[in-house]
Amino acid sequence: MVSYSNAARWLSGIILSIFLVSGAQALTLEGIKVENELPILDAPLVLKGAGVRTKFFYHLYVCALYLPQDSVENEDIDILAYLSADKPLAMRIYVISDMITGDRFADAAHEGFVQATHGNTAPIQNEIETMVGAFRTTLQNHDIFDLAYDPARGVVIYRNSEEQAVVPGAEFKKAMFAIWLGDDPVQSRLKRDMLGDD
């Protein structure tokens, strides 16, 4: 016969296991609940990791990376190869600072593209201007921006779930995501957090 105390411990263990499994990917950063899935493309993308963009000790935004389920489960994913592949991915940016304005974000994006392309922005300059234009006049604190690569359309930019612009081209997609995930990212700690690296 199973004693009451053993049964209670067994039941507690089952409940704890269920809690841990169901909450394994739950993540809150800077008071922001980061969603586990991003259902903005035909196939939902799953959270790989997220981090906080900081500069001079200021916390500017929370940035989360979403990939297909099989890529999320791949702990040894080669993110540089993935950026060059014609595969879906997305980032969600939660603005958490009044210091970020449309103009400042646009200027930072320009700098990021220069860094990500090692100074060779000319081939995608028109695409960069389209992307930057989606941020320059609309960005406010507490906005949520999604940058999603849809292989059928290109990079689709959403502000608070409303589509703002579509920027086609694999080279643009690679350069844009490389700002955060390339070999010379805007912040190494943020890249590691987005990839779920320790």
Domain-by-domain residue ranges, the chain? 26-194
Residue 82 in this model has a pLDDT that exceeds 60: yes
Residue 192 in this model has a pLDDT that exceeds 70: yes
Q: How many CB atoms lie within 10 A of CB 150?
A: 17
Residue 22 in this model has a pLDDT that exceeds 60: no
Range with the poorest average pLDDT among 3-12, 84-93, 181-190:
3-12
What share of the chain has pLDDT > 90, as a percent?
Answer: 67
Query: 93 has which bridge partners?
Result: 63, 145
- Distance CA(100)–CA(80), nearest Å, equals 28
Q: Assign 19 a pLDDT band (cuts: 50, 70, 90).
A: very low
Give the pLDDT score at 26. Answer: 67
pTM: 0.84
The fold for domain 26-194 equals Chalcone isomerase (3.50.70)
Residue 143 in this model has a pLDDT that exceeds 70: yes
Q: Is the distance from CB of 180 to CB of 186 less than 8 angstroms?
A: yes
Give the pLDDT score at 20. Answer: 33
- Distance CA(62)–CA(190), nearest Å, equals 9
- Secondary structure (3-state) at 137: coil
**What DSSP string describes 18-79?**
HHHHHTTT-EEETTEEE-SEETTSSS-EEEEEEEEEEETTEEEEEEEEEE-HHHHS-TT--H
